[in-house]
Structure 1
């Protein structure tokens, strides 16, 4: 039995190439968090720094300096990581003094 209304045949054709829009990914601005690792001696401050570097926050450490009897540490963090950073910092190094949170300004020449 032949069908009275046969199904028409369609050819599969590749879709038309459209020019892609230039998309610039937006990155969330990062921030500097200054932390002071207080101790009675430089060795004590270095021990606190070692504990911080071996914690999950070690990847955020951007700069360290021994200033006026304390180890100053700058953490380079993303805004969405602030809550995690604070909780981990308090549990890893309870002797730390948490300083200011400032936006990191990108170099214009880079």
Structure 2
């Protein structure tokens, strides 16, 4: 029997639009050197878009969003979804 545990972690996806230049590289550097850097589970770049996914504890969600607004104010939160864990009993 599989048992689904309540979500203790969430995935937060954010998108940053910008130009592909020194300023964009500086934004990425700021992100990875900020307290949020340890939460980044995936980052990808497509031309002028930077897509970042954060894996955070649900109790750290407010801190993550607040810090994201400080580090990358131009970032738009796209989605927040629970990270569901299933275990077999």
More strand by share: 2
Q: How does 1:27-106 map to 2 (within 5 A)?
A: 29-41=8-20, 43-67=22-46, 69-106=48-85
Give the distance between the partners of 2:41 and 2:87, measured in 1 at CA. Answer: 19
Give the structure with higher Rg (CA): 1
Q: Which has the higher helix share?
A: 2
Q: Structure 1 residue 49: deviation in Å?
A: 1.6
Q: Could you tell me whether the CA contact under 8 Å between 2:7 and 2:83 is conserved in 1? A: no
Superposition RMSD on alpha carbons, in Å? Answer: 2.4
Higher relative contact order (CA 8 A, sep 6+): 2
Q: Number of aligned residue pairs: give it.
A: 84
Instruction: Give the TM-score normalised by the residue count of structure 1.
Output: 0.65
What TM-score comes out, normalization by structure 2 length?
Answer: 0.78
Alpha-carbon shift at residue 99 of structure 1 (Å): 1.3
